[in-house]
Amino acid sequence: MNVKRRYVIVAVFFVGILAALAGSIHSPLLYSLEKDLFPSPFHINAEALKDQGLNSTSDVLPDVQDFIDFSGPISLSIQIHDIEQARRDLERFQKSRGSIKNLIVKLDMNESEIAEIERNSALQREILESLMNTSVTLESLQLMEIQYHSENNQDMATTVRLRGEEIRKKVKGLNTQYRNATEKVTQSAKKIGLNTTRNEESSAAVDEIVRTIENPAATPVVVRDTVLIPGDERVSLFLRPETGEYRDVIEYMGISLTLRGNTTLRANKVPIVLYMDDLPLATVQTDNFGYYNAKIPIERTKAGAHTVYARSPTSRSVNRTLTVTAVDSATFLNVSKPDTSGLVNCSGSVMANYPVRSASVEILWDDSHVLVTKTDARGEFIKEIELPPGRHTIVAKFSGSGYPINPSESKTVSVDVSLTPGYEPDYGLILIIIISAIILLLSAAAARWYLRRMTNKVLPAPDPADIPGTSPDDEDSPGTLEDLLEDKNETLGAGYARLLREQGLTAASRKAYEHLALRLARDMRVKRYRSLTAREMARTCRGKPYCSAFARFIAIYERVRYGGQVSVKDQTVFETAMNSAEDLMEGEHH
Partner 1 sequence: MNIIRAVTWIAGIVICASVFLLVVHLSANNMEFSRYNAGWNGTSSFFFDLDRHQTIDIRKPGELAGYPGNTTLLIIAPHRAPTTEELAAYSAFLKDGNTIFLADDFGTGNAILAGIGSRITILPGNLSSLDRAYPDPYSVIVYRATEDGPVPLPVSLALNRPAPLEGGSSLMLSSVMSWVDLNGDKRLNLGEGMGTFPVMTTETVGSGRIIVLSDPSIFINSMYSQAENANNREFLKTFASPKGPLLIDQMNSRSADANGFSGILHVLRNTISIELIIIGALLLGTAWAWKKKAI
- Smallest separation (angstroms) from partner 1 to the CB of 443: 6
Complex with partner 1: residue 443 or 571, whichever CB lies closer: 443
Does position 542 interact with partner 1 (CB under 8 A)? The reply is no
Please identify which residue in 3, 5, 52, 568 interacts with partner 1, judged by CB under 8 A. Answer: 52
* Residue 156 CB contacts under 8 Å (≥ 6 apart), including other chains: 144, 148
Complex with partner 1: residue 453 or 589, whichever CB lies closer: 453
On whether the CB atoms of residues 521 and 564 are closer than 8 A, the answer is: no
Q: What is the DSSP letter of 483?
A: I
Does position 23 interact with partner 1 (CB under 8 A)? The reply is no
- Smallest separation (angstroms) from partner 1 to the CB of 19: 10
Triad 360, 364, 368: Cα angle to 5°: 130
Please identify which residue in 289, 354, 423, 450 interacts with partner 1, judged by CB under 8 A. Answer: 450
Does position 109 interact with partner 1 (CB under 8 A)? The reply is yes
Does position 424 interact with partner 1 (CB under 8 A)? The reply is no
Backbone angles phi, psi at 5, to 5 degrees: -65, -40
- The secondary structure of 420-466, three-state, reads CCCCCCCHHHHHHHHHHHHHHHHHHHHHHHHHHHHHHCECCCCCHHH
Neighbours of 573 (CB within 10 A): 18
- Give the x/- contact pattern for partner 1 in 368-407, rule: CB under 8 A: ----------------------------------------
Separation in Å, CA 498 to CA 485, 486, 492, 576: 13, 16, 10, 17
- Smallest separation (angstroms) from partner 1 to the CB of 42: 5
Q: Judged by CB under 8 A, which stretch of 141-149, 271-279, 386-394, 435-443 contacts partner 1? A: 435-443
Please identify which residue in 6, 453, 528, 535 interacts with partner 1, judged by CB under 8 A. Answer: 453
Complex with partner 1: residue 20 or 279, whichever CB lies closer: 20
On whether the CB atoms of residues 413 and 394 are closer than 8 A, the answer is: yes
Please identify which residue in 261, 422, 425, 460 interacts with partner 1, judged by CB under 8 A. Answer: 460
Burial class (CB in 10 A: 0-12, 13-18, 19+), 466: middle
Q: Judged by CB under 8 A, which stretch of 110-118, 139-147, 354-362, 552-560 contacts partner 1? A: 110-118
HSE-CB of 428 using CA atoms within 13 angstroms: 9
- Smallest separation (angstroms) from partner 1 to the CB of 334: 15
- Smallest separation (angstroms) from partner 1 to the CB of 342: 20
- Give the x/- contact pattern for partner 1 in 344-373, rule: CB under 8 A: ------------------------------
Does position 68 interact with partner 1 (CB under 8 A)? The reply is no
Does position 439 interact with partner 1 (CB under 8 A)? The reply is yes
Neighbours of 66 (CB within 10 A): 15
Please name the amino acid found at residue 347.
S
Host H or E run for residue 541: none
Does position 53 interact with partner 1 (CB under 8 A)? The reply is yes
On whether the CB atoms of residues 371 and 362 are closer than 8 A, the answer is: yes
Does position 33 interact with partner 1 (CB under 8 A)? The reply is yes
Q: What is the DSSP letter of 221?
A: -
Triad 371, 374, 376: Cα angle to 5°: 150
Complex with partner 1: residue 13 or 289, whichever CB lies closer: 13
- Smallest separation (angstroms) from partner 1 to the CB of 10: 7
Does position 54 interact with partner 1 (CB under 8 A)? The reply is yes
On whether the CB atoms of residues 63 and 99 are closer than 8 A, the answer is: yes
Site for partner 1 in 111-130 (CB under 8 A): 111-113
Q: Judged by CB under 8 A, which stretch of 102-110, 225-233, 365-373, 559-567 contacts partner 1? A: 102-110
Does position 418 interact with partner 1 (CB under 8 A)? The reply is no
The CA distance from 362 to 378, in Å, is 17
Backbone angles phi, psi at 86, to 5 degrees: -60, -40
Host H or E run for residue 266: strand 263-266
Please identify which residue in 3, 49, 217, 218 interacts with partner 1, judged by CB under 8 A. Answer: 49
Site for partner 1 in 177-196 (CB under 8 A): 191-193
HSE-CB of 225 using CA atoms within 13 angstroms: 13
Please identify which residue in 3, 4, 106, 110 interacts with partner 1, judged by CB under 8 A. Answer: 110
The CA distance from 6 to 441, in Å, is 21
Q: Judged by CB under 8 A, which stretch of 26-34, 138-146, 256-264, 501-509 contacts partner 1? A: 26-34
Which residue spans within 115-256 are E strands per DSSP? 238-240, 243-244, 249-255
Does position 106 interact with partner 1 (CB under 8 A)? The reply is no
On whether the CB atoms of residues 175 and 257 are closer than 8 A, the answer is: no
Q: Judged by CB under 8 A, which stretch of 31-39, 73-81, 312-320, 389-397 contacts partner 1? A: 31-39
Residues that bind partner 1 (CB under 8 A): 10, 13-14, 17-18, 20-21, 24, 28-31, 33, 36, 38, 40, 42-47, 49-50, 52-58, 60, 107-113, 191-193, 439, 442-443, 446-447, 449-450, 453, 460
